[in-house]
Structure 1
Amino acid sequence: MTAVGNGAQTAGRPTRLPRSARRKQLLAAAQEVFVAQGYHAAAMDDIAERAGVSKPVLYQHFPGKMELYLALLDTHCDAIVAKVHDAMRGTNDNKERVSASVRAYFDFVDHESEAFRLVFESDLRNDPAVRQRVERVEQGCIAAITDTIISDTGVSRAHAELLASGLVGAAETAAQFWLAGGRQVPKAEAEALVAALSWRGIASFPLQGESA
């Protein structure tokens, strides 16, 4: 295997990197191995080899395979939630907010397809620690959209959460289907289709101060 990034071995010894850079390099190597082999088949030996480091170096950063896997999930889960928050804060135009939230999912699966599979197609979904992180993504995205719906429409939190969960579910499922289907529909067209479907429902709720 070829070593990942700038951590290749020199004269039989791994290049010394700052701790943050080494951690990033190890996570990148681990992601490639986990996506290719699945969690259960992946071995710390494989990850160390892919990163071009010794196992002791790998264990200095991550005490075990599960801790490494969860660290990867945390990184990607935070990134998805941040994208949806940015979509809500980036404009006051609610139609564009819906489009941006859908785009956040499609951008993630398009540019980070390995990460998307790691989070949403994990062979560890039934593990409590993994399930908690996947649920945190969904709840974090729902919360970001819920607050916007409440502030704009004045509906109750329970109603807003239900609407937000529908939007998140549609975006996530459609993006996953698009990726699994080999991106047969052009990305921009796929985003527009899902956004239009979602907007036609959200737009039926008037802004505060407007009559229904």
Structure 2
Amino acid sequence: MTELENIKGARSQRMPREARRRQLLQAAHQVFVAHGYHRASMDEIAEVALVSKPVLYQHFPGKRELYLALLDSHLADFSRQLDEAIESTTDNRQRVFATINTYYSYIKGESQAYRLIFESDVLSDALIAGRIEKFNNALATSIARVVVQDTDMSEAEGLLAGRALAGLSQVSARYWASTDEEVDQSTAVDLISRLAWRGISQFPKET
């Protein structure tokens, strides 16, 4: 069977809706990573997914909706990993380490997804910026909840500390990834988590 026949056969196969949606998101991921949002086209996404454009439009009415769906998928996965890190222990010092380590691991292992989330050429879009702000706020709130329980910080102070910790994790991890890992991950995470913990631990809860 020729390659053209294989492609036509793949296009003719019926797939369950969720499986087809995953296939389309995978193709979109590939195209958006390669070209960015503005240079990506629905034609190319359909071609990479081995579907016709009408099939693509049955699932996503436009490129913006497709990008938002892909962004939501990546943010949900990243949020799940961060939530698991926060809930992995009752020791707040270990929580700090686990949360920062998750950031570093995600950037190292899911670098393409991370770039789509935080380094896209369409971050000025209000809906996309709103999705990322919602992610950042949810992470800061999760951090604040456990920090407030273990310190004398108010909820507002805890949220500010949560934002600071999330920002420290993101900025340091992005820089670390850009240096070709001149400092190994465990050393880098230990350094940044000790720096963060020394700040948080200065606010012990009075008993």
* TM-score, length-scaled by structure 2: 0.92
Q: Does the aligned pair in 2 maintain the 1:178–1:185 contact within 8 Å?
A: yes
Aligned residue-pair number: 202
Distance in 2 (alpha carbons) for counterparts of 1:169 and 1:12? 44
Name which of structure 1's ranges 124-133 and 151-160 shifts more when overlaid on structure 2.
151-160
- Change in Cα spacing, 1:143 to 1:12, as seen in structure 2 (3 Å) is closer
1:190-201 correspondence to structure 2 within 5 Å? 190-201=188-199
Q: Does the aligned pair in 1 maintain the 2:140–2:163 contact within 8 Å?
A: yes
Q: Does the aligned pair in 1 maintain the 2:82–2:102 contact within 8 Å?
A: yes
- Change in Cα spacing, 1:11 to 1:164, as seen in structure 2 (3 Å) is closer
In the alignment, what sits opposite 1:144?
142
In the alignment, what sits opposite 2:183?
185
- Change in Cα spacing, 1:161 to 1:13, as seen in structure 2 (3 Å) is closer
- Change in Cα spacing, 1:26 to 1:105, as seen in structure 2 (3 Å) is same
Q: Does the aligned pair in 2 maintain the 1:14–1:52 contact within 8 Å?
A: no
Residue from 21, 24, 28 that aligns with 2:26? 28
Q: Does the aligned pair in 2 maintain the 1:9–1:15 contact within 8 Å?
A: no
Task: Give percent identity, aligned residues only.
Answer: 44
Residue from 129, 134, 142 that aligns with 1:131? 129
Residue from 7, 13, 18 that aligns with 1:15? 13
User: What are the superposed Cα offsets for residues 35-61 of structure 1, whole Å, 9 maximum, x if unpaired?
Assistant: 110000000011111111111111111
How far off is 1:21 after superposition?
1.1
- The runs of 5 or more residues in structure 1 that have no matched partner are 1-7
Instruction: Identify, as 1 or 2, the structure richer in helix.
Output: 2
Q: Which amino acid aligns with 1:91?
A: T
- Change in Cα spacing, 1:19 to 1:174, as seen in structure 2 (3 Å) is same
Q: Which runs of 4+ in 1 moved over 6 A?
A: none
* TM-score, length-scaled by structure 1: 0.90
Q: Which amino acid aligns with 1:113?
A: S
User: What are the superposed Cα offsets for residues 114-168 of structure 1, whole Å, 9 maximum, x if unpaired?
Assistant: 1100000011111100100111111011010011111121420111111111100
Q: Does the aligned pair in 2 maintain the 1:152–1:208 contact within 8 Å?
A: no
User: What are the superposed Cα offsets for residues 12-50 of structure 1, whole Å, 9 maximum, x if unpaired?
Assistant: 634322111111111111011101100000000111111
